[in-house]
Structure 1
Amino acid sequence: MYKERPDFKGMGRVVEKEILAIRRHLHQCPELSGEEWETSAFIEKKLQEYGIPYTKGYAGTGILGVIDGGRSGATVALRADIDALPIEEKVESAYQSKYKGKMHACGHDAHTAMLLGAGKLLMERKGQIAGRVLLVFQPSEEDSPIGGAQPVMDDGIFDQYRPDVIFGQHVWPDLPSGTVGVRDGVMMGASDRFRVTFYGMGGHASMPHQTTDAVTIAMTVINQLQTIVSRNVDPLSAAVLTVGKIEGGYRYNVIADQVTVEGTVRTLDEENRNLMKERFHQIVRDGTHAMGGKAKIDYIQGYPPTVNHTRWAQRVRKTARAMFGDASVPQVNPSLGGEDFSRYLKQYPGAFFWLGVRPKGGLPKPLHDPHFDLDEDALAPGAELMAQVAVDTLAEWEE
């Protein structure tokens, strides 16, 4: 039976000013995937300030903080992603992004700030901790299909300390502040990409019979692709195929000889993931051939589905209810958004969960939107939750 463990309920207020200052600093200085050098140096400085030992350089800018408890036990890892997005911010604030075309539009600044806050709380009470807590600051989460999770693992971030359990937290504007979203099993979807170049034969717009119109080929195939979800996927399953970019043609009176289409495919399980890929290739190949053209297909499988381990999803749920009340953990549906935390969960037991950050008043702006913002009042409780989930997991392991 475990002897003792820290209680972090309400302790977020001790580090709240620190967390807000960190988040606002990082928000002003966003760095894209693989470029997080200033962010990494800032994290180093904070870990030094808190007295937390660390190693660095994983996949370039990744950092691992290590907090050893007062007695032996299991090892729990907490992960925060640190990169920003190539988006021009449209939220006016005193801490608006200073870098043109770069923005923390997915809340990774908040993730980093909360993990540092949780690390500070844990370090101050390390004597009461049975085991070890790893603080994983991971680059390049937005760099799908490569991501940062697999590269930091390949680079040895867990070679010395292997986690028995790993947790990740993500801000979630669809949920009200003060709530936590977590599910047993699938939490987020697989994220695949495609780029198709259609080749035809160009000519004068007044003489289409002498051409093979690449625009018409692309339009026809795009419409056919939408039938995969409506006619091949089980209606009780979830899948999305989105064409996000079309590029081709020269001018109004020239029939295009080439059109490029880019998009994404999202699914919640490997069966539908494979089905979507197979039907995609069939439709593009056969549809293009039927219209006299050719197609080059680049289909890239990215992040797999993020699938929580039931025991540890239940641990998050139990801890959140104890800290914030039963109503704080509403039932949630999985998201078809992709997340490279999925790659940790293929190697180690653990869970990924959402922290509600819906701003008070008005409709929330979604992640990856240039108007995205969050309720900063949620961040201190988010740090408390991460710290408590870690020590509760270690205590459960010690029982």
Structure 2
Amino acid sequence: MNIAETIHRQTEDVYTEIVRHYQYLHRHPELSYHEENTSRYVADFLEAEGISFRRNIGGNGLLAWVQGTKPDNGHTVAFVADMDALPVQEKNEIPYKSVHKGVMHACGHDSHTASLMGVAKMVHTLRDELAGRVLFVFQPGEEQSPGGADLMLKDHLFADREPDFIVKQHAYVDLPAGKVAFQTGTVMASADEVHIKIIGHGGHGALPHELNDTVLAASNVIVALQQIVSRRRNPFSPMTLSFGKFIAPGATNVIPDEVVLAGSLRCMDESERFKMCKIIPDIIESTAAAYGCSCQVAIPQGYPCTVSHEDITAQVRAQAVNYLGEENVAEYPRRMTAEDFGFFTQKYPCCFYRFGVNNAQQTCGKLHSSTFLINEDALKTTSALFAFIALTSFLK
């Protein structure tokens, strides 16, 4: 049996169905931890196909599996797709435009889920070629802490059978459809939110000697925290600390009693991450005190770094070259964005690769934007390559 040719034929057979799943999901997006309809849609599909699954894992998550009919060799590979959308108002004028005001699949999770549905169907059809088990993880809540990956793992996602390794793919606007890209090591940063409240005794802006200037204190907190990145971190470890929220509900002549700040700490090294999470509150407290203010600081546990295991990534990349050709396999740059797939990479050997979704006109829009829209040809690559990986890894 020529696996590549068989998968190519299978992909052609199910492609129209995968596109239909994608367009339905795009039309009916749901925010993190509210993926009830999406989860039900996937469950109904799995049930109709006769594919075994468990539901309500870590919330709206599902785990499906296909057991090979050959004698079980004990090997298991898992594939992950996220299901949640973003709070974005879609501007694309298409027949399957989001019907939910202010909610949109602006990160490609609809394509991830639809692709994995197609892969599950193909692998189930070809189960006579398997001697192990393939797991399909449909994950909620990737876009918002605490992270659906963490919740599913804590809810004993792999209680019945743990994977030898896990693979996830993600939409990538910098490549055209039909191409994929790989990277090894720490490929994305950790992400921890920093929430701050500066508390003082406000009053009339013309009488600064009679009050505690919370706005000035908060401003200097931000300046002081930026010096952490330049003076306290290991200079060989990339890090960013950015604040996008500064709420001072006063007026031109009113200093408020409280100022609220919120930002994000991104690190490419877990030890540096934990060190900074201890230093940051100390800096905030001492800076606020210098202006006669007190503070409240919260840094809830966020996402860890995402790591692509060197050996597993080399294996999956070789499979991609084998199926797609060397000319369709590239390398993507490391960056300070984050993924809750990092929770999986902390526990298991993993590969995180990206698939191109653009077209010749480069008009797909940016990720997380109101005009993001994939080239549907990408769905052939996403489904076929996952199926090829499943059938050629070690499941003979």
What range describes the TM-score normalised by the shorter chain of this pair?
over 0.9
Structure 1: runs of 5 or more not aligned: none
Q: Which runs of 4+ in 1 moved over 4 A?
A: 3-7
Alpha carbons 2:285, 2:295 under 8 Å: kept: yes
1:92 corresponds to: 93
2:179 corresponds to: 179
CA-to-aligned-CA distance 1:283-328 (integer Å, 9 cap, x gap): 2122111122111100122111111222211112101111222132
TM value normalised by structure 1: 0.93
Q: Distance in 1 between matches of 2:278 and 2:175?
A: 35
Root-mean-square deviation (CA, aligned residues, Å) is: 1.9
1:48 corresponds to: 47
Comparing 245-254 and 378-387, the one that deviates more: 245-254
CA-to-aligned-CA distance 1:209-236 (integer Å, 9 cap, x gap): 2121111111111122222223333444
1:255-294 correspondence runs (5 A):
255-294=255-294
2:323 corresponds to: 323
CA-CA distance at 1:367 after TM superposition: 2.3
Alpha carbons 2:91, 2:371 under 8 Å: kept: yes
2:76 corresponds to: 75
1:320-359 correspondence runs (5 A):
320-359=320-359
Q: Distance in 1 between matches of 2:236 and 2:362?
A: 32
Structure 2: runs of 5 or more not aligned: none
Q: Do residues 38 (structure 1) and 37 (structure 2) align?
A: yes
Alpha carbons 1:303, 1:340 under 8 Å: kept: yes
Q: Distance in 2 between matches of 1:317 and 1:329?
A: 8
TM value normalised by structure 2: 0.93
Alpha carbons 1:81, 1:111 under 8 Å: kept: yes
Q: Distance in 2 between matches of 1:290 and 1:31?
A: 45
CA-CA distance at 1:256 after TM superposition: 1.7
Alpha carbons 2:179, 2:356 under 8 Å: kept: yes
Q: Distance in 2 between matches of 1:281 and 1:321?
A: 48
Q: Distance in 1 between matches of 2:255 and 2:224?
A: 22
1:115-126 correspondence runs (5 A):
115-126=116-127
1:343-382 correspondence runs (5 A):
343-362=343-362, 365-382=365-382
Q: Distance in 1 between matches of 2:390 and 2:134?
A: 7
Alpha carbons 1:213, 1:255 under 8 Å: kept: yes
| Residues 359 and 246 of structure 1: CA distance in aligned 2, closer, same or farther (over 3 Å) | farther
Q: Distance in 1 between matches of 2:175 and 2:289?
A: 47
What is the one-letter code of the residue matched to 1:52? I
What is the one-letter code of the residue matched to 1:139? P
Q: Distance in 1 between matches of 2:65 and 2:284?
A: 50
Comparing 6-15 and 243-252, the one that deviates more: 6-15
Q: Do residues 29 (structure 1) and 25 (structure 2) align?
A: no
SS at match of 1:273: helix
Q: Distance in 2 between matches of 1:119 and 1:47?
A: 8
Q: Distance in 1 between matches of 2:374 and 2:223?
A: 37
Comparing 150-159 and 291-300, the one that deviates more: 150-159
| Residues 271 and 155 of structure 1: CA distance in aligned 2, closer, same or farther (over 3 Å) | closer
